[in-house]
Structure 1
Amino acid sequence: MPTVTRHGVRPLGSADLDAFLALAGQDPVVNVFALYRARTTSLEPRWLGGEVWGRFDNGELVAACHVGANLVPIQASADDARAFAERALTRSRSVSTIVGPHEAVESFWNHVAESWGKPRELRWQQPHLVIDEPPHVEADHRVRRTTRQDMAALYPACVAMYTEEVGVSPEAGGGADLYRARVTQLTSRGWSFARFDEGRVVFKAEVACATEDAAQVQGVWVPADRRGEGLAVAGMAAVVDFVQHEIAPTVSLYVNEWNAPARRVYEAVGFRESARFSTVMF
């Protein structure tokens, strides 16, 4: 077993899976990403593509941190986040994003900021929204699951959404094959939804991760020339219907605080705020 550091932190492995699931299960909606990753990898580093660190107190797992392309604190207080930051400072930065509950992300970032360099963007106080009841508006019945046959129209829409949201194309630096594989994977799982008008995507969204308790939605997008028509409201209602009936009873997402149009969409559908997230992007 790896040595526990003076901060009570060590990498977790498959032997820690039950303890980790119990910890993350204290908030199965906020922690849906962590639970999904743990269940699909059994915390094996070769499947994680990184590590999950645990912090222990008297032998009990009290907090964790997913460290892959995304660094995600799990049930971590500000003090736990500082302990994870101390461990992170013993190695060079490998993560492209720090994301999770605001207090933990802020504490972690304040501790590593000097060493990890200037981020591309800081997004503080992102509302984390949930809906666990039927949508409050009528669904757009033209929204459907996508198929591989839709890729010619769907993939460019996904690239456009990502570029608009993140500020850089997912194809930059030779990433096209990897991103196309991710879009194809979500479609194959039945986690990609869209409405097509004359072969063009006019609304889309995906499920990023899911457990039996919750599913997290990402990539909600309407092309600029079709905004203001109500496509997003009715489209999101359709996605919520699909997810609640076929994937998980609670649907979650997080949104930029400054994105007033998106926040109005989610409010109209029936989402309510349950927490605040923050994201640091490199």
Structure 2
Amino acid sequence: MLPGPFQVARALATTRVLDPQDLDDALEILHLDPVANAFVATRVEAVGLDPWRLGGEMWGWFDTDGRLSSLCYAGANLVLVNAGPDAVRAFAERARRQGRRCSSIVGPAGPTAALWASLERSWGPAREVRAHQPLMATAEPAAGITPDPLVRRVRRNEIDALMPACVAMFTEEVGISPLAGDGGLLYQARVAELVAGGRSFAHFAEDGSVVFKAEIGAVTAGACQIQGVWVAPEHRGQGRSETGMAAVMGYALRDVAPVVSLYVNDYNVRARAAYARVGFREVGAFMSVLF
């Protein structure tokens, strides 16, 4: 029996923008790797697949059986999920046709490298490519490290005191100030959102300045992801990152998720060593392309 017109069209349409009816299938894919997919999963679990609420489109790649097999979040970041070579090629072609709208490409190192190889000629040059960023995780509290007892959740009336540390961290990590462009309105809103959600942690000195800070940026039922780890320059080299992270890990494992993760630049040898000392182990690698 010859396929009907709909079947032919379906076979050829290997990618499309997902809609709310695809939510269960998308979540099934995201839950295949809770650690690697935490960033995208936390957004989808919170708001679903409606592009306006999601802050971008969710592209789906369908295999030859018409089954959803891979995802690509296309918002402020472009992020691959469970993407094999065929899916990467299909997503790259869609991204090329659409043109660059994101500020970065982030995701598992292998597929992201293949995606960037396909996009570099039309989207490049990148401001920076971080080809190997170890993805680390733990399900156990820090052993042998005493958590900093002064690390606690940031209160809403402390946002102004916290902001300089957040701006310093972002500028050091990304290479540009988060206050550029819109004057920092979106960034300040994100900081306030994390504080209001009880996911921002800091050690404040007696003068109100920040000694250590970190946030739990992504949260799902299976895993959460720590981000924005920063120690004030005058307090570096004193073990603050270890004791501070031990405290945040304790909060995260007790109150948030059964697995805590983060990813770090491979050239940041001190940070990688500090995270290993508090119990994190490498479970994969990410890659970031910054524009």
Query: How many angstroms does 1:5 deviate by?
Result: 7.8
Query: How many angstroms does 1:152 deviate by?
Result: 2.2
Give the aligned partner of residue 89 of structure 1.
96
* Cα separation, 1, equivalents of 2:12 and 2:211: 53
* Cα separation, 2, equivalents of 1:27 and 1:171: 34
Post-superposition CA distance 1:189-211 (Å, at most 9, x none): 00000001111100000011101
Query: Which stretch of the first structure deviates more once superposed, 241-250 or 131-140?
Result: 131-140
Query: How many angstroms does 1:79 deviate by?
Result: 2.8
* Cα separation, 2, equivalents of 1:152 and 1:49: 26
* Cα separation, 2, equivalents of 1:218 and 1:60: 34
Post-superposition CA distance 1:130-151 (Å, at most 9, x none): 0111112221111000011112
Out of 232, 242, 247, the residue aligned to residue 223 of structure 1 is: 232
Out of 95, 106, 109, the residue aligned to residue 102 of structure 1 is: 109
TM-score normalised according to structure 1 size: 0.97
Give the aligned partner of residue 29 of structure 1.
35
> 1:119-138 alignment to 2 at 5 Å?
119-136=126-143, 137-138=145-146
Long gaps (5+) in structure 2: 1-5
Query: How many angstroms does 1:6 deviate by?
Result: 3.4
Give the aligned partner of residue 186 of structure 1.
194
Query: How many angstroms does 1:7 deviate by?
Result: 5.9
Q: Is the 8 A contact 2:11 2:66 kept in 1?
A: no
Fraction of identical pairs, as percent: 48
Query: How many angstroms does 1:174 deviate by?
Result: 2.1
* Residues 1:157 and 2:182 are matched in the alignment: no
Question: Do the aligned partners of residues 169 and 4 (structure 1) sit closer, same or farther apart at CA in structure 2, a change above 3 Å counting?
Answer: farther
What is the RMSD computed on CA atoms of the aligned residues? 1.3
Query: How many angstroms does 1:4 deviate by?
Result: 5.3
Give the aligned partner of residue 220 of structure 2.
211
* Cα separation, 2, equivalents of 1:5 and 1:153: 55
* Cα separation, 2, equivalents of 1:5 and 1:183: 44
Query: Which stretch of the first structure deviates more once superposed, 232-241 or 53-62?
Result: 53-62
Query: Which stretch of the first structure deviates more once superposed, 94-103 or 36-45?
Result: 36-45
* Cα separation, 2, equivalents of 1:147 and 1:224: 23
SS in 2 for 1:90: helix
Query: Which stretch of the first structure deviates more once superposed, 51-60 or 6-15?
Result: 6-15
Post-superposition CA distance 1:235-281 (Å, at most 9, x none): 00000000000011110010000000100110010000000100000
SS in 2 for 1:185: helix
Equivalent residue pairs, number: 281
Question: Do the aligned partners of residues 90 and 5 (structure 1) sit closer, same or farther apart at CA in structure 2, a change above 3 Å counting?
Answer: farther
* Cα separation, 1, equivalents of 2:97 and 2:276: 43
Give the aligned partner of residue 46 of structure 1.
52
* Cα separation, 2, equivalents of 1:265 and 1:183: 25
* Residues 1:262 and 2:271 are matched in the alignment: yes
Query: How many angstroms does 1:40 deviate by?
Result: 1.4
* Residues 1:14 and 2:14 are matched in the alignment: no
Letter in 1 for 2:148: D
Letter in 1 for 2:255: E
Out of 228, 242, 245, the residue aligned to residue 233 of structure 1 is: 242
